[in-house]
Structure 1
Amino acid sequence: MSPMVKILIGLIAALLIGWIWHGPLGHGAALIDRMEGQARTAVAATEVPGIEVHLARHPLKRIATLDGPANDLQREGLGSQKGISDYVRAIDGIAKVRWADEKPATAMPLLAEGLLLHVIAYLLGLGLAAIFWGRKKKEGFL
């Protein structure tokens, strides 16, 4: 079997593992659920009634969408005071925050982010392996 076929089989295996982790095992949805819960807690702490927060589900994305009766000052804050959007932006993992009456935000789906990281990690490992174990050392030299 040629080395290129072996590399492709390894890459496909890495992508398959990433997809299984994200989809069938449910870790992608669990991440979105956790971030959405934290966002709801952060919004509740602002004590502005009627504000709802949802993260994109189809496909899963790290975009928080806020909806409710808030004016511009409550939404974005003023000067050193934080707005509702700032509290949600501060949550680890949230990529973007938008309000329902604004234009839709674009972001890469969570699955694509995960698979891209798997490809990068695989290629990095492949490169390091080639550096350390790829060339035969000559006898008598260090």
Structure 2
Amino acid sequence: MNRAVVFGAGLTTVLALTALWHGPLGNGDRFAASVEASARAQLDSDEMVQVHAHLQRGPLTRRLILSGPADDFQRHEIVRRMELIPGVGEARWAASSLPAETRR
């Protein structure tokens, strides 16, 4: 019985802290804005102004979704470079941005 109470209290605390992090404290939005700004700066530096990068949300993840025109070499290189940005766990192209023959 005691373990169940401790587990329940711990779970409640974690859920409350998660809600605060993504809600009123706004750290999730600040994190996403910071990563997206870094990605935009990298894309501008690479002169890839038609490519867009957004952190996946719902729930917030560290996955950067890329969209826009690019050839095969550019796609691979942009993914590699985006994954080097602090805070990005994975970068991938949106399915709608991929050529029809490579969509899954």
Give unmatched runs, 5+ long, in structure 2. Answer: none
Match of 2:92 among 88, 98, 102: 98
Select the structure with the greater relative contact order (CA < 8 A; seq sep ≥ 6).
1
Larger radius of gyration: 1
Offset at 1:23? Answer: 2.1
- Paired residues, number: 97
Shift of 1:91: 0.7
Q: Which amino acid aligns with 1:84?
A: I
Deviation of the 1:5 alpha carbon: 4.7
1:84 aligns with 2:78: yes
- In 2, the alpha carbon distance for the partners of 1:73 and 1:32 equals 27
Regions of 4+ moved over 6 Å = none
Change in CA separation of 1:6 and 1:85 when aligned onto 2, cut-off 3 Å: same
TM-score by length of 1: 0.58
Paired residues of 2:56 and 2:65 also in contact (CA < 8 A): yes
Question: C-alpha root-mean-square deviation of aligned residues, in Å?
Answer: 2.1
- The alignment status of 1:3 with 2:2, answered yes or no, reads yes
Flag structure 1 segments of 5+ consecutive residues without an equivalent: 77-82, 105-142
Which residue in the other structure is 2:27 paired with? 27
CA distance in 2 between counterparts of 1:45 and 1:17 reads: 37
More off after superposition, 22-31 vs 56-65: 56-65
Given that 2:40 and 2:53 are in contact with CA atoms closer than 8 Å, whether structure 1 keeps it comes out as yes
Question: Residues 26 and 72 of structure 1: is their aligned pair in 2 closer, same or farther, counting only changes over 3 Å?
Answer: same
> Which position in structure 2 is the counterpart of 1:37?
37
- Counterparts of 2:13 and 2:63 in 1: how far apart (Å)? 29
Aligned-pair identity (%): 34
Distance of 1:61 and 1:96 partners within structure 2: 9
